[in-house]
Amino acid sequence: MNQPPIKLLIVEDNEKLRKAFMSGLKESGQFMIVYDCANGEEAIDFSLREEFDVLLTDVRLAGTLNGIETVVTIRKEFPRKPVVIYSIQDSDEYFRSFRKAGILSHYAYVRKSNYLLPHMIVPLIELAYEGKSFIDPEIESRIVEVKDLDENSPMAILEPNEMIVAKMLASGMSNEQIAIRLGFKDKRTISRINGQIYAAWDLNESSSDEKVARTRAALIVRENRFLQWEEDGKAYYRNGSGEWIHWENES
């Protein structure tokens, strides 16, 4: 007995590639393309109105949401909705999004360059549809790399509002400018947040004044690594082996 075709929702901002995918998948006789679009917002809207079996999406899309964020939003309404994610991008941002999404099953995540032809996508769609999972080893390696980077990042120990202020501080904005940008009426709120950042990064345990602590905090944000200053003013960072190495700003 013949199985009914798998209904696909395709999200790809490259119109030429999207049409090629659709044409190749239709020729296989195993799929029905129920909708195609270039951005995640449109895909989400469709998913709330119509039924489909598997989402096939690029990571980089035309709209505000990337492909992984689109998957997360759809899965809030339809848990474990099967998805095949592909990307040519080698961006920490996307690997970080995938790791934080907590996607565990009913998915495949591969490099577009390795699975570009429609017939290569077919077994991945079937795998996700069956509730299994597959991740390209190359992508998995990068996700682990980003995870290790995040866990050793000074930003990882800050609260969300502290992260925002730290980044603005590092960009050279004053407390007053940060307060205005974030909608605070009293710039002293930013001073208190700065104090929390300095405490988290051990910048308030020395005799340094606020200006020095602020400069050092900006350097930590820019370098995205823990720096520690000695009495002579020299800075050190901890390497992968746990050793403190003299840091010099080569830029």
Task: Report the pLDDT averaged over residues 135-151.
Answer: 88
CATH topology for 154-247 is Arc Repressor Mutant, subunit A (1.10.10)
Residue 205 pLDDT > 60: no
pLDDT of residue 208: 57
- 154-247 shares the fold of 6-150: no
Neighbouring residues of 41: CB distance < 8 A, sequence distance ≥ 6: 63, 64, 65
- State the average pLDDT for the chain: 89
pLDDT, tens digit (0-9, with 9 covering 90-100), for 206-240: 555 888 899 999 999 998 888 888 877 788 876 65
> Hey, what CATH class is 6-150 in?
alpha beta
The SS3 of residue 23 is: helix
Mean pLDDT to the nearest integer, 142-162: 85
Q: Where are the domains of the chain?
A: 6-150, 154-247
| DSSP-assigned states of every residue in 76-92 | HHSTT--EEEEE----H
Place of tokens 């992260």: 163
183 Cβ neighbours under 8 A, 6+ residues apart: none
pLDDT of residue 91: 86
**pLDDT value at residue 175:** 94
Instruction: Using the predicted structure, report yes or no on whether residue 242 has a pLDDT greater than 70.
Output: no
- Continuous H helices in the chain: 15-27, 40-47, 67-77, 92-101, 118-129, 137-151, 160-170, 175-182, 188-200, 210-223
Instruction: Give the long-range contacts of residues 22-30, CB within 8 A, separation 24 or more.
Output: 23/118, 24/117, 24/118, 24/119, 25/118, 25/121, 25/122, 27/118, 28/118, 28/119, 28/122, 29/5, 30/5, 30/6, 30/122, 30/126
pLDDT tens-digit map of 19-60: 998 999 999 889 999 999 999 999 999 999 999 999 999 999
